[in-house]
Amino acid sequence: MDILITGGLGQVGSYLTEELSKEKKNQLTILDNFSSRIRDFAAPDDVLVVEGDILDKEIVNRLVSRNDIIIHTAAQVSVINSIEDPIKDAQNNIMGTLNLLDAARRKKIKRFIYFSSAAVYGNPKYLPIDENHPTNPMSPYGLSKLTGEKYGMIFHSLFGLPFVCLRPFNIYSQRQNPGSPYSGVISKFIERAKLDKPPIIFGDGSQTRDFVSVHDVVSMVIKCIENNSAVGEVFNVGTGIETNVKKLAFLCSDKEPEYLPPKSGDISNSYADINKARNILGYYSKYCLEDGIKDLMFSKIKR
């Protein structure tokens, strides 16, 4: 298969590149602007890496025309940056996505897999959150991701584009950067533990999240490529397990956490209902959080 991965040098994209390139029948191309590339990651020699932007129609049209499967992970992913510069957020996440969709509809591709976000749900009305939960984003980032979903579904209904939408919850991996203010809480906790410092919790630690390994996310993408029943559907990508932040802190460190005032607008509780993905695709989470944290603790976090 000829596969284009946008953002293929980023956290999720790099793992997708590694896994999909193992199949010799796959020919991979990465389109990445190098803004969030993983410094310690080098794409395999047989993967074509194109430095460019999803806002560049010429590059997008050229690369999409050569590929059968589009996996769109490239995005502006910072909630804070989206609030400070909503126009730039919309340009990247809406117009960039629209460029890819428009190019893809002009070629008979086999799959267009779009990475959205659980941020589209906003403050949960009920738990666990299923795909029918109301969407009420609380930031321009969440709104731009939801808009990309809507465009994809319109292209599916109007042009028959084989579109699949994924809504990941809290992804963790060795390639999250703990030095970044936007990285996951797990990498922050582990980095402080390695410095022999206590974890910092904003609030009382009772808030809950669904922490999913990047390896489960990669598995979900492969299932969406292989299963035609995925087309035209939206899927949560999580574990279906609710973990509170205080428990997480003690999994990462033996020190008593340091507590700071809660962040404004922080959601109290969130975790995924993954029954739809299980029933349609046979997806389930293979990686338990405890084992994932042990792996991270005994490895160098790649930045």
The pLDDT value recorded for residue 302 is: 43
| CATH number of residue 252's parent domain | 3.90.25.10
Does 10 lie in the same domain as 138? Answer: yes
- Mean pLDDT, rounded, of the chain: 94
Classify residue 287 as exposed, middle or buried by CB count within 10 Å of its CB (0-12, 13-18, 19+). Answer: middle
Amino acid at 12: V
In the chain, % of residues over pLDDT 70: 96
50-98 pLDDT, tens digit per residue, is 999 999 999 999 999 999 999 999 999 999 899 999 999 999 999 999 9
Does 24 lie in the same domain as 136? Answer: yes
Contact 212, 285 (CB under 8 A): yes
26 within some domain: yes
How many alpha carbons lie under 13 Å from residue 4 in its C-beta half-sphere? 30
Number of domains in the chain: 2
Q: Compute the CA torsion angle 269, 10, 164, 147 (nearest 10 deg).
A: 70
Contact 182, 131 (CB under 8 A): no
286-298 pLDDT, tens digit per residue, is 999 999 998 888 7
**If we measure between CA atoms, which residue out of 237, 290, 215 comes closest to residue 11?**
215
Taking CA atoms, 38 is separated from 9, 41, 77, 130, 181, in Å, by 6, 5, 15, 32, 16
- Whether omega for the bond prior to residue 128 falls within 30 degrees of 0, making it cis, is yes
pLDDT band at 301 (very low <50, low <70, confident <90, very high): very low
Q: What are the residue numbers of the active site?
A: 141
Does 112 lie in the same domain as 128? Answer: yes
Taking CA atoms, 85 is separated from 73, 75, 144, in Å, by 20, 14, 12
Contact 32, 6 (CB under 8 A): yes
Does 228 lie in the same domain as 141? Answer: yes
Does 187 lie in the same domain as 166? Answer: no
β-strand 200-202 against 111-115: which pairing, if any?
unpaired
Does 94 lie in the same domain as 116? Answer: yes
- pTM of the full predicted structure? 0.95
Specify the long-range contacts of residues 11-14, CB closer than 8 Å, at least 24 apart.
Answer: 11/36, 11/38, 11/171, 11/173, 11/175, 11/176, 11/214, 12/73, 12/115, 12/168, 12/171, 12/173, 12/214, 12/217, 12/218, 13/71, 13/73, 13/74, 14/38, 14/41, 14/43, 14/175
280 within some domain: no
The pLDDT value recorded for residue 292 is: 92
Map residue 165 onto helix, strand or coil: strand
Structure tokens at 248: 């997480």
Contact 191, 301 (CB under 8 A): yes
Does 206 lie in the same domain as 216? Answer: no
Domain extent, residue 205, equals: 176-210+241-273+286-297
